[in-house]
């Protein structure tokens, strides 16, 4: 049966969580950040029994109807998915400093291949990570000599604004010095491979170190956030098991549950949790809990507007809004911004867009921007005109 760190029978929660933390480490290491780890219970992504899928909720919950098209659901796609190749087939990318050119083309059986001049054979792209809302990274998988699944994260990703570009964490310099298959991308260990798929899927069955790819439930869907949904269905919706319902969580517990993937503050050192660490913009959960809005909220009033957690501004069953008016309205629910009382007036009124000054976007890699969730006052001037509330972002 299953062995190693992913033995679900023995350590259903902590094994998965260790995995998450290690990957968070790996990713942060790639970004030049160090950090500390601490474990809390998380979703059982590699439980033995296959959890229910979103179709199983359709009969009773309307929210399941359109869920397949949200970024959470589309964040992992397998080769052969009807539209997945449009970003890559026939495209080429010349890495900076003339390191090499990457070509993507279709294989005879409808799969996707990637080739560059420094490695004799094309590699097959087996999965795409990322919905395409921000980026898509292709990966190739194989079985290592110990019989375990490993992956190659390709050095080239797709970005909505620019098409192909280098993958986050890869640089022309490292590629230039790489030999063999490392010219194509980064080989990850078995552990890192499980973590990578783990945050981007709902069920990841593993046998003797091999991911059973045919059975994977890709994307972040119902059972990933409402765990133990099987008991709920069997009881015709009467049972609400622990880990299933979000309604009784404190703001911090709620933010941290999203933070199991969006990175919790307790996974980082105090040095990393500073305004000088511009990479914190990638980690919404860790960033938002630094805000006075979060720390000084009056969350005792259940269900009132005064609660601040991720759900104040995001419905995880839908794509994130891109309307600054929508978000500024959430600010205005708590802040009575008025020319006579706010110090940053007079130019601004209640109708202004709060985001460019208090939650600006910043680019952490060419083509990849994130929104700073550490809501605060800043000295730098905004790079957008806050009065253009109608223009969208
Ligand atoms: C199992 C891991 C996981 C959990 C738990 C999770 N997310 Fe996500 N989330 C992701 C991934 C992966 C993406 C990237 C989706 C993509 O590829 O565009 C994402 C994307 C998002 C986005 C951006 C969507 C968009 O439209 O651009 C928002 C907002 C978000 N998550 C909010 C939440 C909130 C709120 C929670 C908690 C209720 C949560 N997430 C829990 C993994 C997770
Ligand atoms: C700890 C959980 C976690 C792990 C491990 C993880 N991701 Fe993600 N990934 C996320 C979350 C959350 C998002 C959405 C927010 C963000 O981008 O940070 C995301 C977003 C993405 C995106 C969309 C672009 C973007 O930045 O929004 C890509 C592509 C991606 N991940 C690829 C990977 C690859 C490849 C691996 C493994 C090598 C990996 N991820 C491992 C949680 C994770
Ligand atoms: C990324 C995490 C996440 C995913 C994936 C997710 N949910 Fe939810 N769901 C939540 C959170 C958080 C709440 C609490 C919302 C609130 O209190 O505003 C919630 C609330 C609900 C509710 C009760 C409130 C309501 O909106 O009616 C239902 C029913 C529900 N979800 C069903 C589903 C179904 C069905 C799926 C899959 C199609 C799903 N959820 C996927 C996080 C998630
Ligand atoms: C046989 C019908 C049925 C099925 C199937 C079903 N549910 Fe429910 N669900 C209910 C009922 C009934 C409630 C209670 C409704 C209420 O209190 O408004 C409920 C409530 C919920 C809630 C709210 C929990 C809370 O915080 O109060 C969530 C979340 C939820 N269901 C998720 C799911 C998910 C995810 C699935 C699929 C895996 C699913 N349900 C399948 C009937 C069902
Ligand atoms: C749930 C209520 C709530 C929401 C929503 C909210 N805030 Fe706050 N905010 C607060 C509280 C409470 C404080 C602390 C006030 C104090 O120190 O007395 C605060 C403080 C601030 C501060 C001062 C921060 C500092 O560093 O001293 C700014 C700026 C701010 N909020 C802007 C915003 C913006 C912009 C939004 C929307 C993106 C927003 N807030 C959303 C409750 C909220
Ligand atoms: C006060 C409102 C607010 C709250 C609360 C909030 N967000 Fe956001 N979030 C935003 C805004 C604004 C955007 C940018 C939307 C756009 O693309 O125009 C955003 C975008 C995102 C994205 C897409 C990537 C990015 O950075 O642009 C992710 C992922 C995300 N939020 C996750 C979360 C998570 C997880 C939480 C809880 C820890 C959370 N957000 C809480 C306002 C909020
Ligand atoms: C043009 C940039 C800009 C815009 C737009 C803006 N603010 Fe501010 N805001 C500031 C600056 C700068 C400060 C700090 C002023 C100071 O400390 O002297 C501030 C301070 C605050 C504070 C702290 C209380 C105070 O007066 O110091 C709150 C709360 C706040 N803003 C909320 C909002 C909200 C809500 C919106 C949207 C309706 C908004 N702001 C729009 C720049 C802006």
Question: Ligand nearest 388 Cα, by number?
Answer: 7
Judging by beta carbons within 10 Å of its beta carbon (0-12, 13-18, 19+), is residue 279 exposed, middle or buried?
middle
Task: Output the pLDDT for position 240.
Answer: 84
Residue 344 · residue 357 · CB < 8 Å: yes
Judging by beta carbons within 10 Å of its beta carbon (0-12, 13-18, 19+), is residue 15 exposed, middle or buried?
buried
Task: Output the pLDDT for position 243.
Answer: 77
Q: Which residues line ligand 4 (CB under 6 A)?
A: 52, 56-57, 59-61, 222-223, 226, 229, 232-233, 236-237, 240, 245-247
Q: Within a 10 A sphere around the Cβ of 101, how many other Cβ atoms?
A: 14
Q: How far apart are CA 160 and CA 244, in angstroms?
A: 34
Task: Output the pLDDT for position 6.
Answer: 26
Task: Output the pLDDT for position 306.
Answer: 77
Task: Output the pLDDT for position 348.
Answer: 55
Strands (E), 126-179: 127-129, 137-143, 149-154, 156-159, 163-166
CA 155 to chain centroid: 19
Task: Output the pLDDT for position 48.
Answer: 76
Residues of the chain with pLDDT under 50: 1-43, 301-302, 345-346, 389-393
CA of 333 to the centre of ligand 7 (A): 15
Which of 44, 56, 57 gets mutated to test ligand 4 (max ligand atoms within 8 A of its CB)?
57
pLDDT, one tens digit per residue, over 246-283 is 988 999 999 999 999 999 999 999 999 999 998 999 99
Which of 61, 64, 73, 222 gets mutated to test ligand 4 (max ligand atoms within 8 A of its CB)?
61
Judging by beta carbons within 10 Å of its beta carbon (0-12, 13-18, 19+), is residue 23 exposed, middle or buried?
buried
Task: Output the pLDDT for position 117.
Answer: 86
Query: In which element (H, E) is residue 173 found?
Result: helix 172-177
Task: Output the pLDDT for position 270.
Answer: 93
Ligand 1 pocket, residue 130 CB under 6 Å: yes
- Return phi, psi of residue 362, to 5°: -145, 150
pLDDT, one tens digit per residue, over 58-101 is 999 999 999 999 999 999 998 776 677 789 999 999 988 766 89
Ligand 6 pocket, residue 125 CB under 6 Å: no
Task: Output the pLDDT for position 347.
Answer: 54
């Amino acid at each position: 049966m299953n062995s190693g760190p992913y033995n679900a029978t023995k350590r259903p929660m902590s094994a998965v969580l260790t995995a998450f933390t290690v990957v968070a480490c790996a990713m942060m290491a790639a970004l030049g950040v160090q950090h500390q780890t601490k474990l809390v219970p998380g979703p059982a992504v590699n439980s033995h029994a296959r959890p229910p899928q979103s179709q199983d909720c359709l009969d009773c919950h309307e929210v399941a109807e359109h869920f397949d098209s949200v970024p959470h659901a589309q964040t992992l796609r397998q080769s052969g998915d009807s539209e997945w190749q449009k970003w890559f087939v026939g495209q080429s990318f010349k890495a900076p400093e003339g390191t090499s050119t990457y070509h993507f083309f279709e294989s005879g059986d409808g799969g996707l291949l990637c080739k560059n001049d420094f490695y004799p054979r094309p590699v097959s792209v087996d999965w795409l990570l990322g919905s395409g809302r921000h980026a898509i990274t292709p990966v190739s998988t194989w079985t290592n000599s110990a019989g375990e699944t490993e992956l190659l994260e390709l050095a080239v990703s797709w970005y909505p604004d620019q098409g192909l570009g280098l993958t986050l964490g890869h640089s022309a310099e490292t590629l230039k010095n790489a030999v063999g298959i490392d010219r194509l991308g980064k080989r990850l260990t078995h552990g890192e491979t499980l973590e990578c798929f783990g945050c981007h899927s709902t069920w990841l069955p593993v046998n003797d170190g091999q991911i059973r790819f045919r059975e994977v439930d890709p994307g972040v869907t119902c059972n990933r956030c409402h765990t133990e949904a099987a008991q709920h269905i069997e009881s015709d919706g009467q049972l609400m098991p622990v880990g299933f319902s979000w309604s009784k969580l404190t703001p911090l517990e709620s933010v941290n549950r999203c933070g199991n993937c969006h990175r919790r503050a307790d996974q980082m050192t105090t040095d990393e949790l500073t305004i000088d660490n511009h990479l914190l913009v990638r980690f919404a959960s860790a960033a938002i809990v630094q805000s006075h809005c979060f720390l000084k909220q009056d969350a005792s009033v259940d269900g009132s507007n005064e609660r601040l957690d991720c759900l104040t501004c995001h419905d995880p069953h839908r794509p994130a809004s891109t309307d600054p008016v929508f978000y500024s309205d959430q600010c205005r629910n708590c802040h009575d911004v008025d020319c006579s009382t706010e110090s940053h007036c007079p130019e601004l009124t209640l109708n202004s867009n709060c985001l460019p000054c208090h939650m600006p976007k910043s680019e952490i890699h060419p083509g990849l921007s994130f929104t700073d969730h550490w809501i605060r006052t800043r000295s730098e001037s905004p790079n957008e005109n806050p009065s253009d509330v109608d223009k969208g972002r």
